[in-house]
Structure 1
């Protein structure tokens, strides 16, 4: 993708014909929902440049006190080309915020039930269906009146909704229940429940032709493919640890499915016509999460959750573009075609509030036979640091402690405890803690911490070490 290759437009100005270069994608925008800074970042895909942010609330740690104004845990995101409108879900404040892409201003905030997750516009843009993950229903919002008009009862913990192209069917995955619910959008009744491989599915997408529905299983690193003609599971693909989001795009005339694999920092590409055979693997930055292609199938953007960046991918060459710094902890991402009438529109956008880089620490096993893995993101939040942690391959339902040590070699002194946690039934843990751990493991001075250490609380054994 060469951004300097322009299209030529002929414009009538003052009775004369003049030529004006129109950059491809100039009226498009890329938006990310940033969970720590509580912002929506705006990127110009024509120039691969950050334009500014839409602030929806105060960043961490200011939201840890009672929240009377603004939104918290900005997470879910969807765009309506017909309305030039974003729907933004904030998990912590139970809200769906509608934002104009022309003015970058909040139009209205609608409050729904406990811990909503993702909004989805119906194909006609008349409604927004929002998964209320903390409860067992989908909130249906009327776009014209900007009010919740119905609650659709589904399995506990709905993760996200995807529609058939004609809008007659809604597919609802779940984050708590191992099933996919299929809903008739006219009657709002569940017409079928399909068992799936895992109870944690945060993301779902329908192919443009309507023949396939793909849903991710973040906990087991898989993607389930639903055949919409038979309304049954076609196959389950093993895609990799922390499989986050999935989408479809027609690339060089072929329909492809693309998946972000957060634990491996990869985007995997599958050919639909070849029964979802993997055709490409693209290495990207730290912890890819949301992804979305342009309408022409030539360009795609990926949010890097631990990198506080977005990264473009030229889909014709499968090569990455330079990463662009944005707000903190991007979750959902949308590529918005024709989002602005004026390509120079930067109105009401604020500069990036966070100037400090997130430090990524990849922890390594102290012995080859240890299969545990760990990745840490140390993100400045005011005077403290937010320490985001992902661990896998540990013993199920067992306690572990993460700490900093000034020791150069074993045995490692426990000089600063960061977190003590219990793994889930699969030996995994994802969580956060705060503290003064900036530049952890730098080890430049004698008094510095030399290692980040993970120990088994039951045996006291050191399993993982990390250093900058």
Structure 2
């Protein structure tokens, strides 16, 4: 009886997965060259926006529960969406949002990342207090679990060194940054940095590690070789996540509580200006290839926005789903300037 029950359960799960995949595929709209993909973590959907017209393309597409972050595979064939509560990864077409495959049994994938050589795939388990480390087969786009490393409390964001051996991880509740050795899956060191560390960014030459202090109003500058905080850069309350401005000098940090974005000079380690007049809760950011426009998700406003980086003004907002978080677009092909620019 038990074997029969488990067999029926497994078949039911398999059928449910097939049906879910079919629903996503059926809901996917026609191909557009430059669709913007936005993850609505509060309602388990993704929104597709035509980048040229700034219009929602079709209806919102279902994902697993709480999709927070997304990342291209090293070969750019697929975009991985991490569904943290559904315990799965969705591989989707990076241009259309169409489902390619779904990997179940990947527990609590909140944040995700690849080592620079693409051999290691890592996810943070925000609610399970651990780091899951996988080897990655690029031919089949399949991660294989190597180890689950306990890492309390609330491991969040990551940054990888170019040596392909080290990943830094922020621990939000304990207020620490940890350095993890990937080949041995061990913690090399931990250090206190302050209240609710989140986003991480390495400055040119991997000289310093920047940490967005979401529980404070600054970015901590860490000399990771000596494990010391050497400076704090005043930004705004809720300093959270980073996005390079692709000029080799500046990086943006979103301040979720202050509802601003600060621009940091990576050489002088100073705040050289704030973008204000934004909607509540700016979070993840993407930059167009011409560096003219930045798209940003507003976690507390059910909108994404477009910022003109020449004037540093918000010029357009687009309604999406509840609690928009991750954002991505493939901007290798040219598009027209945003409407109203």
Q: TM-score, normalised by structure 2?
A: 0.76
User: CA contact under 8 A between 1:155 and 1:181: conserved in structure 2?
Assistant: no
User: CA contact under 8 A between 2:200 and 2:242: conserved in structure 1?
Assistant: yes
User: CA contact under 8 A between 1:110 and 1:146: conserved in structure 2?
Assistant: no
Task: State the match for 1:176 in structure 2.
Answer: 173
Higher relative contact order (CA 8 A, sep 6+): 2
User: CA contact under 8 A between 1:78 and 1:88: conserved in structure 2?
Assistant: yes
Of 307, 310, 328, the match for 1:313: 307
Give 1:248 deviation, angstroms. Answer: 2.5
Task: State the match for 2:5 in structure 1.
Answer: none
Task: Give the direction of change, closer, same or farther, for the CA distance of 1:27–1:184 in structure 2 (3 Å limit).
Answer: farther
User: CA contact under 8 A between 2:217 and 2:239: conserved in structure 1?
Assistant: yes
Of 47, 52, 55, the match for 2:61: 55
Of 28, 37, 52, the match for 1:31: 37
Distance (Å, rounded) in 2 between the aligned partners of 1:45 and 1:205 = 27
Of 234, 258, 278, the match for 1:284: 278
Distance (Å, rounded) in 1 between the aligned partners of 2:259 and 2:230 = 27
Of 79, 83, 86, the match for 1:86: 79
User: Secondary structure of the equivalent of 2:316?
Assistant: coil
Task: Give the direction of change, closer, same or farther, for the CA distance of 1:119–1:188 in structure 2 (3 Å limit).
Answer: same
Of 56, 68, 73, the match for 2:66: 73
- 1:297 equivalenced with 2:291 (yes/no): yes
Measured on the aligned residues, the alpha-carbon RMSD in Å equals 2.8
Give 1:159 deviation, angstroms. Answer: 0.7
Task: Give the direction of change, closer, same or farther, for the CA distance of 1:224–1:95 in structure 2 (3 Å limit).
Answer: farther
User: CA contact under 8 A between 2:95 and 2:329: conserved in structure 1?
Assistant: no
Distance (Å, rounded) in 1 between the aligned partners of 2:162 and 2:55 = 32
Task: Give the direction of change, closer, same or farther, for the CA distance of 1:321–1:235 in structure 2 (3 Å limit).
Answer: same
In structure 1, the gaps of 5 or more residues are: 1-25, 58-70, 344-468
User: CA contact under 8 A between 1:39 and 1:53: conserved in structure 2?
Assistant: no
Task: Give the direction of change, closer, same or farther, for the CA distance of 1:96–1:249 in structure 2 (3 Å limit).
Answer: same
Number of equivalences:
299
Give 1:130 deviation, angstroms. Answer: 0.7
Task: Give the direction of change, closer, same or farther, for the CA distance of 1:229–1:250 in structure 2 (3 Å limit).
Answer: farther
In structure 2, the gaps of 5 or more residues are: 1-31, 336-341
- 1:250 equivalenced with 2:246 (yes/no): yes
User: CA contact under 8 A between 2:39 and 2:68: conserved in structure 1?
Assistant: yes
Distance (Å, rounded) in 2 between the aligned partners of 1:151 and 1:296 = 40
Q: TM-score, normalised by structure 1?
A: 0.57
Distance (Å, rounded) in 1 between the aligned partners of 2:228 and 2:35 = 36
Task: Give the direction of change, closer, same or farther, for the CA distance of 1:166–1:298 in structure 2 (3 Å limit).
Answer: farther
- 1:45 equivalenced with 2:41 (yes/no): no
Runs of 4+ residues deviating >6 angstroms: none
The Cα offsets for residues 192-212 of structure 1, whole Å up to 9 and x where unpaired, read as 2222112x2232233464333
Of 176, 200, 203, the match for 2:199: 203
> Where is the helix percentage greater, Structure 1 or Structure 2?
2
Distance (Å, rounded) in 2 between the aligned partners of 1:167 and 1:28 = 31
- 1:164 equivalenced with 2:161 (yes/no): yes
Distance (Å, rounded) in 1 between the aligned partners of 2:169 and 2:311 = 34
User: CA contact under 8 A between 1:81 and 1:337: conserved in structure 2?
Assistant: no
